[in-house]
Amino acid sequence: MKAIRVHEVGPPEVMRLEELPTPEPGAGQALVRVEATGVNFLEVYRRSGQYPGPLPFTPGMEGAGVIAKLAEGGSGFKLGDRVAWAASEGSYATHALVTVEQLVPIPDGVGTRDAAGILLQGMTAHYLSHSTYPIEAGSVALVHAGAGGVGRLLVQMLKLQGARVLATVGSEEKAAVTRQAGADEAILYTQQDFAAEARRLTGGRGVDVVYDGVGQDTFEGSLASLRSRGWLVAYGQSSGPVGPIESRRLMEGGSLHYTRVSLVHYTATRQELLERAGIVFEWLGSGKIELRVEKTYPLAEAAQAHDDLVSRRYAGKLLLIS
């Protein structure tokens, strides 16, 4: 098999394609022939050292493919089943060992590559919009990076619930992308003070909730965008981590709520994983939400994919094809 390996943390170039022995699945595992894997900031954090872990390793938390081998304890699946996963490192490869408990079946009507492209970000958008903050019809939400992978899906899911959505973007092209997804307003953060715009667009009140996957660069403005008792929901740190916070600031801002969330805590049980994945796949298959796959790369071009992701050169999802 072939796999991307990282022997030391650093820039995208530390990822190298290597030939490795094809592993055998252990108890409760499946060997999956990977067709496609999503490129996400989680892998950037891991590769760069922001999220430390053992070395060497193969990046990639999200993927989809066909079961090639099953070990004892792999009940519920059979050889040849199409499956996807969103929380099993090692997907930047032609084959991946995945714990069966982490696998979800891909339903008819959803392509394998689309499953790889939507599962992690789709479930993230779902828990953000349906579980973390109680969105209601008429709620006003500010979504950072509204044309990105999570952002575009989050905009669509918020609109399904009747929210008014303001989205920040970096260009007119991306403004068109987020408006097509349903955003009511697109704020060009490169030209406008997004917090001042959020206040203006809400008549000075502020938004009910900010969804922030950017982190360091947007934290202050996100707090300033909120109404009294509003929620700042942080789910990523593409610009770097947020430093220590003096809790008094939340009180002074209007008794604000601040939470840092992770998908792992919103798919904590097998039942919750299957339910959340099932909803995302059903909405994709029925056309309630749309996936925008912006570009695909062969495994050997993983470094270029990371560079493109971090530079925000494209709107939408990036995929590696095995």
Domain limits for position 40: 2-119+267-321
Q: How many domains does the chain have?
A: 2
The whole-angstrom separation of Cα 298 and Cα 320 is: 6
Nearest to 124 by CA among 291, 266, 287: 266
What is the CA angle 26-21-82, rounded to 5?
A: 55
What CATH number does residue 113 fall under? 3.90.180.10
Residue 259's pLDDT is what?
96
Examine the fold and report which residue of 260, 291, 310 is the final residue of a domain before the chain moves on: 260
Mean pLDDT by 10 residues, the chain (322 residues): 98 98 94 97 93 95 97 84 96 97 96 97 97 95 95 97 97 95 96 97 98 91 98 89 89 96 96 98 97 95 96 87 94
Q: State whether 275 and 194 are in the same domain.
A: no
pTM for this model (two decimals): 0.93
Residue 77's pLDDT is what?
94
Q: State whether 11 and 97 are in the same domain.
A: yes
The whole-angstrom separation of Cα 229 and Cα 226 is: 8
Q: State whether 13 and 93 are in the same domain.
A: yes
Q: State whether 98 and 173 are in the same domain.
A: no
Q: State whether 92 and 193 are in the same domain.
A: no
Q: State whether 22 and 111 are in the same domain.
A: yes
The beta strand positions in 13-121, using DSSP E, are 15-19, 29-38, 63-70, 82-85, 95-99, 104-105
Q: State whether 96 and 36 are in the same domain.
A: yes
Say if 127 falls within a structural domain: no
Q: State whether 227 and 291 are in the same domain.
A: no
Residue 92's pLDDT is what?
98
Residue 74's pLDDT is what?
65
Q: State whether 310 and 217 are in the same domain.
A: no
Residue 7's pLDDT is what?
98
Examine the fold and report which residue of 221, 237, 260 is the final residue of a domain before the chain moves on: 260
Say if 128 falls within a structural domain: no
Say if 154 falls within a structural domain: yes
Residue 76's pLDDT is what?
86
What CATH number does residue 206 fall under? 3.40.50.720
Say if 56 falls within a structural domain: yes
Say if 124 falls within a structural domain: no
Say if 125 falls within a structural domain: no
**Contact 4/59 with Cβ under 8 angstroms?**
yes
Say if 129 falls within a structural domain: no
Say if 316 falls within a structural domain: yes
Which residue in the block uniquely carries the two structure tokens 């953000």? 128
**Residue 260 structure tokens:** 């840092």
Q: State whether 104 and 154 are in the same domain.
A: no
Q: State whether 87 and 113 are in the same domain.
A: yes
Residue 105's pLDDT is what?
98
The whole-angstrom separation of Cα 263 and Cα 87 is: 9
Reported residue count of the chain is 322
Nearest to 215 by CA among 23, 51, 31, 6: 51
Examine the fold and report which residue of 228, 245, 260 is the final residue of a domain before the chain moves on: 260
Q: State whether 242 and 152 are in the same domain.
A: yes
Residue 37's pLDDT is what?
97
